């Protein structure tokens, strides 16, 4: 099975939209800019990296880029059916739109509102996040929670992100769990933790009035890797995501069970690198520029010529 995966915050970089601004992409980014009430053409083409680290800018920029890439692939290629979607953190909005559960304009608009709400939540208390690389999940979780911190992301084996107060993160960095390295991340606050409670309430109100329908393609939730079962389930998961863990490791497990052996990352994030660390490693394609469309076309041809079942491999 083919999978399309959408990166989350951290995928922003200078000029990320510029390669996709042909006539159709240019018109589309103007539509997205109107929906977000933000000049995404400027921020995605000309702005410096330090201008786009603001979460209220990065989030709609990342979602808009993923959707521009998806629409280019959809228009130039015959995408397979079935096709499965998943997104990391804010990337779940792009995944939901690509899967047909909401419009692309609404996904970009919601990403902007989500980013603004999270930026305001960051003003309440000095918080942040830190990557904890190495060690076992149980040992790392115990060490993180003993300091009053939260496990915000579990991206894969030895790939955990902790969130909480800056002084507690400093203590974690000075006293890392056994066999780990701790690195503070350049983010504005403790995302995916209870520190985002005010943002959760604010974003929930915005999402409540947004039309959401049954997705046309399977969509995995980054909360637990489960299939989203309908519009209300999707809304609930998108809102709760702000204060709950991102379990990309469980999404990866579900993708393996659904035999998603070819995964296309729509943008230049960290998901392709995580995919390549899996054993056995699926084929990972990072669609970060128009010339990578040819790589997706080649993978599609290979997939079409490889017979085999598509039913899920259920874990024993």
CATH of the domain at 163: 3.30.70.250
**CA–CA gap between residue 300 and residue 164 (Å, rounded):** 43
pTM: 0.94
pLDDT given for residue 310 in this prediction? 43
Note whether 148 and 96 are same-domain residues.
Answer: no
Note whether 111 and 131 are same-domain residues.
Answer: no
The pairing of beta strand 159-165 with beta strand 180-184? unpaired
Note whether 85 and 19 are same-domain residues.
Answer: yes
Note whether 91 and 140 are same-domain residues.
Answer: no
List C-alpha distances in Å: 277 to 261, 266, 295: 13, 18, 20
Note whether 78 and 224 are same-domain residues.
Answer: yes
**Rg of the Cα atoms in the chain:** 19
pLDDT given for residue 313 in this prediction? 39
Residues with Cβ within 8 Å of residue 45, at least 6 apart in sequence: 15, 17, 18, 21
Total of domains in the chain:
2
**CA–CA gap between residue 194 and residue 90 (Å, rounded):** 17
Catalytic member of 33, 66, 88, 89: 89
Residue ranges in the chain whose pLDDT is less than 50:
309-316
pLDDT given for residue 121 in this prediction? 96
Note whether 155 and 279 are same-domain residues.
Answer: no
Catalytic member of 88, 104, 192, 254: 192
**CA–CA gap between residue 196 and residue 258 (Å, rounded):** 32
Note whether 212 and 154 are same-domain residues.
Answer: no
Note whether 117 and 248 are same-domain residues.
Answer: yes
Asked whether residue 87 is domain-assigned, the answer is: yes
Note whether 59 and 29 are same-domain residues.
Answer: yes
Asked whether residue 189 is domain-assigned, the answer is: no
Query: Among candidates 238, 250, 235, 255, which has minimal Cα distance to 5?
Result: 255
Note whether 210 and 169 are same-domain residues.
Answer: no
Provide the CB-side half-sphere exposure for 135 (13 A, CA). 21
Asked whether residue 311 is domain-assigned, the answer is: no
Asked whether residue 272 is domain-assigned, the answer is: yes
Asked whether residue 250 is domain-assigned, the answer is: yes
Residue 316 annotated to the active site: no
Whether residue 102 contacts residue 96, with contact meaning beta carbons closer than 8 Å, is answered with yes
Asked whether residue 15 is domain-assigned, the answer is: yes
pLDDT given for residue 257 in this prediction? 94
Give alpha helix (H) positions in the chain: 23-36, 40-45, 55-76, 91-98, 104-122, 137-146, 166-174, 197-208, 231-240, 248-257, 271-276, 293-304
Which residue, of 154, 184, 214, is where some domain finishes? 184
pLDDT given for residue 252 in this prediction? 95
Asked whether residue 309 is domain-assigned, the answer is: no
Note whether 260 and 133 are same-domain residues.
Answer: no
Instruction: Give me the phi and psi of 262, to 5 degrees please.
Output: -125, 120
pLDDT given for residue 186 in this prediction? 86
Q: What is the CATH number of the domain that holds 89?
A: 3.40.366.10
Q: Domain span at residue 161?
A: 127-184
Whether residue 255 contacts residue 272, with contact meaning beta carbons closer than 8 Å, is answered with no
**CA–CA gap between residue 304 and residue 270 (Å, rounded):** 27
Asked whether residue 153 is domain-assigned, the answer is: yes
Residues with Cβ within 8 Å of residue 146, at least 6 apart in sequence: none
**CA–CA gap between residue 161 and residue 217 (Å, rounded):** 30
pLDDT given for residue 308 in this prediction? 53
pLDDT given for residue 307 in this prediction? 58
**CA–CA gap between residue 22 and residue 205 (Å, rounded):** 35
pLDDT given for residue 162 in this prediction? 97
Residue 89 annotated to the active site: yes
Strand partners, 84: 3
pLDDT given for residue 303 in this prediction? 81
The pairing of beta strand 83-87 with beta strand 2-6? parallel
Note whether 38 and 107 are same-domain residues.
Answer: yes
* Run of H or E residues at 264: strand 262-266
């Amino acid at each position: 099975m083919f999978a399309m995966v959408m990166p989350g915050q951290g995928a922003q970089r200078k000029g990320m939209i510029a390669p996709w601004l042909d006539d159709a992409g240019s018109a589309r980014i103007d539509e997205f800019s109107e929906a977000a009430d933000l000049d995404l053409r400027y921020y995605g083409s000309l702005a410096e990296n330090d201008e786009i680290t603001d979460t209220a800018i990065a989030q709609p920029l990342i979602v808009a880029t993923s959707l521009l890439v998806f629409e280019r692939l959809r228009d130039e290629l015959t995408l397979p059916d079935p096709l499965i979607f998943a997104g990391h953190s804010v990337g779940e909005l792009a995944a939901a739109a690509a899967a047909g559960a909401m419009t692309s304009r609404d996904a970009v608009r919601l990403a902007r509102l989500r980013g603004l709400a999270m930026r305001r939540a960051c003003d309440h208390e000095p918080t942040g996040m830190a990557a904890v690389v190495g060690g076992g999940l149980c040992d790392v979780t115990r060490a993180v929670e003993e300091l009053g911190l939260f496990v915000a992301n579990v991206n894969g084996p030895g790939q955990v992100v902790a969130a909480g107060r800056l002084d507690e993160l400093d203590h974690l960095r000075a006293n890392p769990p056994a066999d780990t390295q701790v690195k503070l991340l350049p983010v504005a606050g403790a995302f995916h933790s209870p520190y985002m409670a005010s943002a959760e309430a604010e974003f929930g109100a915005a999402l409540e009035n947004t039309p959401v329908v049954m997705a046309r393609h399977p969509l995995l939730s980054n909360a637990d890797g489960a299939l989203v079962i309908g519009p209300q389930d999707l809304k609930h998961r998108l809102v709760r995501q702000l204060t709950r863990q991102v379990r990309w490791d469980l999404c990866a497990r579900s993708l393996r069970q659904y035999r998603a052996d070819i995964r296309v990352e729509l943008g230049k994030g960290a998901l392709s690198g995580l995919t390549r660390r899996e054993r056995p490693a699926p084929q990972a394609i990072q669609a970060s520029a128009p010339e990578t469309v040819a790589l997706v076309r080649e993978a599609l041809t290979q997939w079409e010529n490889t017979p085999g079942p598509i039913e899920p491999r259920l874990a024993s």
